């Protein structure tokens, strides 16, 4: 057996959700919403299931969805994509990450990653034979600077994997940070894989900047998206990769032997959703921002100190600033006993973890958030 898999722990999301189910705790751990998905997207997929083909769609995705992805990014992010040579549909962003890392890493290549990192990244990088070079980001702003990149890049750097907006820290890398990254990527001839699954879930009027909107990164980057996050349908597992034609050709070869394709009716639903008017996306953001504010206001009134949340469905408690001297894993255990599941952010580090922040998912009905606030207030 491959020791990578025999020694890997079960992912923190599954662990905390299983414990929440077993104890009946309110689950603010694993990130999934309890509302907010568009009914017409479900109906389009249901109709397609019953009336359209259920046989293998084309390997890179249905023409309808690939066109919709290109049109969507042209309208929302001012990015010009050729739907035929620059877009590949995958079974979730997770498959896109696996396909991209397997296609672009030659064993022994160094891969620059930023901590905290989404939990799938490191096992996938290692399985592809990549050597991780970790850039540690620190609360409250979780940003990198020139010196941090200078320390991470070496002549062996071939790939950089970023997540923007960043789960779990709910922070955003702005255009200036991406430009800085571009200078290093160009200097080292590295490819940037940019996991942008949270691109639409951003607050307070922020604008998302994609790597593909940075001229110096346009032809050396892979942009990854996911319908799960855009339409609050995390179980759907429809994702995609957008990249220049030469890169896309390599990505598609990797994708064809992972899943080959993705259920056609779900592709139809997503194509329909991506064409929604801009107002739908604005309203969606406003709804989640409202939930974020409710949780932050309630927990702040209870005495917790909260870190900023610029995007995603998450916000973190700053344990140290809240006067809690235990580590995040100890606090997460205690809060589970108090009836609320959370995620210790140290689970997203491979080395030198920050142990003073605890992630909570606010994509829940107000009543659920209120009940959680009451329990968390009593636990403090």
Of residues 119, 34, 20, 22, the one with CA closest to residue 341:
20
Nearest approach, Cβ of residue 240 and ligand PMP (Å): 9
Contact of residue 60 among ligand PMP, ligand GLN, none (CB under 5-8 Å per partner type)? none
Q: How far is the CB of 168 from ligand GLN (least distance, A)?
A: 7
Q: Is 31 in the site for ligand GLN (CB under 6 A)?
A: yes
346 binds ligand GLN (CB under 6 A): no
Binding-site partner at residue 294 among ligand PMP, ligand GLN, none, CB < 5 to 8 Å by type: none
CB of 92 to ligand PMP, least distance (A): 3
The answer to whether residue 281 forms part of the interface with ligand GLN (CB under 6 A) is no
Distance CA 101, CA 105 (A): 6
Site for ligand GLN contains 157 (CB under 6 A): no
Nearest distance, CB of residue 58 and ligand GLN, angstroms: 27
Identify which of residues 12 and 222 has a Cβ nearer to ligand GLN in the complex: 12
Closer CB to ligand GLN, 31 or 60, in the complex: 31
Binds 163: which of ligand PMP, ligand GLN, none (CB < 5-8 Å by kind): ligand PMP
214 binds, among ligand PMP, ligand GLN, none (CB under 5 to 8 A by kind): none
Q: Is 13 in the site for ligand GLN (CB under 6 A)?
A: yes
Which C-beta is closer to ligand PMP: that of 60 or that of 239? Answer: 239
Q: How far is the CB of 303 from ligand PMP (least distance, A)?
A: 29
Q: 89, 362, 62, 52: which is closest to 237 by C-alpha? A: 89
Question: Which one, 324 or 361, has the nearer CB to ligand PMP?
Answer: 361
Calpha distance 57→371 (Å, rounded): 45
Among 30, 169, 356, 357, binds ligand GLN (CB under 6 A): 30
Work out how close the CB of 345 gets to ligand GLN at its nearest, in angstroms, rounded to a whole number.
Answer: 11
Residue nearest to ligand GLN (CB): 31
Residue 167 in contact with ligand GLN, rule: CB under 6 A: yes
Q: How far is the CB of 84 from ligand PMP (least distance, A)?
A: 23
- Of ligand GLN, ligand PMP, none, which one does residue 344 interact with (CB within 5 to 8 Å by kind)? none
By CB under 6 A, is residue 226 in contact with ligand GLN?
A: no
233 closest CA partner among 195, 272, 260: 272
SS (H, E, C) the chain: CCHHHHHCCCCHHHHHHHHHHHHCCEECCCCCCCCCCCHHHHHHHHHHHHHCCCCCCCCCCCHHHHHHHHHHHHHHHCCCCCCCCCEEEECHHHHHHHHHHHHHCCCCCEEEEEECCCCCHHHHHHHCCCEEEEEECCCCCCCCCHHHHHHHCCCCEEEEEEECCECCCCECCCHHHHHHHHHHHHHCCCEEEEECCCCCCECCCCCCCCHHHCCCCCCCEEEEEEHHHHCCCCCCCCEEEEECHHHHHHHHHHHHCCCCCCCHHHHHHHHHHHCCCHHHHHHHHHHHHHHHHHHHHHHHHCCCCECCCCECCEEEEECCCCCCCCCHHHHHHHHHHCCEECEEHHHHCCCCCCCCEEEEECCCCHHHHHHHHHHHHHHC
Q: Which residues bind ligand PMP (CB under 6 A)?
A: 31, 92-94, 118, 163, 167, 195, 197, 226, 228, 234, 237, 239
The least CB distance from residue 152 to ligand PMP, in Å, is: 20
Interface with ligand GLN (CB under 6 A): 11, 13, 30-31, 167
């Amino acid at each position: 057996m491959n020791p990578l898999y025999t020694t890997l722990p079960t992912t923190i999301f599954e662990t905390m959700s299983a414990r929440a189910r077993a104890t009946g705790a309110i689950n603010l751990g694993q990130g999934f919403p309890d509302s907010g998905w568009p009914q017409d997207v479900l109906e389009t997929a249901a109709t397609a299931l019953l009336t359209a083909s259920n046989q293998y769609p084309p390997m890179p995705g249905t023409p309808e969805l690939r066109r919709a992805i290109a049109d969507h990014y042209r309208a929302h992010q001012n990015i010009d994509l050729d739907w035929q040579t620059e877009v590949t549909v995958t079974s979730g962003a997770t498959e896109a990450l696996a396909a991209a890392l397997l296609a672009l890493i030659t064993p022994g290549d160094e891969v620059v990653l930023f901590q905290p990192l989404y939990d799938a990244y490191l096992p996938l990088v290692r399985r592809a034979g990549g050597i991780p070079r970790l850039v540690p980001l620190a609360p409250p702003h979780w940003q990198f600077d020139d010196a941090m990149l200078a320390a991470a890049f070496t002549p062996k750097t071939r790939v950089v994997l970023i997540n923007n907006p960043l789960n779990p820290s709910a922070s955003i890398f702005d255009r200036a940070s991406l430009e800085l990254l571009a200078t290093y990527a160009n200097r080292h001839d590295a490819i940037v894989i940019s996991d942008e699954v949270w691109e639409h879930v951003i607050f307070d009027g922020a604008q998302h900047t994609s790597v593909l909107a940075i001229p110096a990164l346009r032809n050396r980057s892979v942009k990854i998206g996911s319908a799960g996050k855009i339409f609050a349908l995390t179980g759907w597992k429809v994702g995609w990769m957008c990249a220049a034609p030469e890169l896309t050709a390599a990505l598609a070869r990797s994708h064809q032997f992972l899943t080959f394709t993705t259920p056609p009716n779900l592709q139809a639903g997503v194509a329909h959703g991506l064409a929604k008017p801009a107002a739908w996306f604005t309203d969606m953001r406003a709804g989640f921002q409202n939930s974020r504010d409710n949780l932050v206001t309630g927990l702040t009134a209870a005495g917790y100190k909260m870190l900023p949340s610029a995007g995603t469905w998450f916000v973190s408690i700053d344990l140290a600033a809240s006067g809690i001297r235990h580590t995040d894993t100890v606090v997460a255990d205690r809060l589970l006993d108090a009836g609320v599941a959370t995620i210790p952010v140290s689970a997203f580090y491979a080395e030198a973890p920050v142990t003073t922040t605890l992630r909570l998912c606010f994509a829940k009905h107000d009543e659920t958030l209120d009940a959680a606030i009451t329990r968390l207030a009593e636990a403090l």
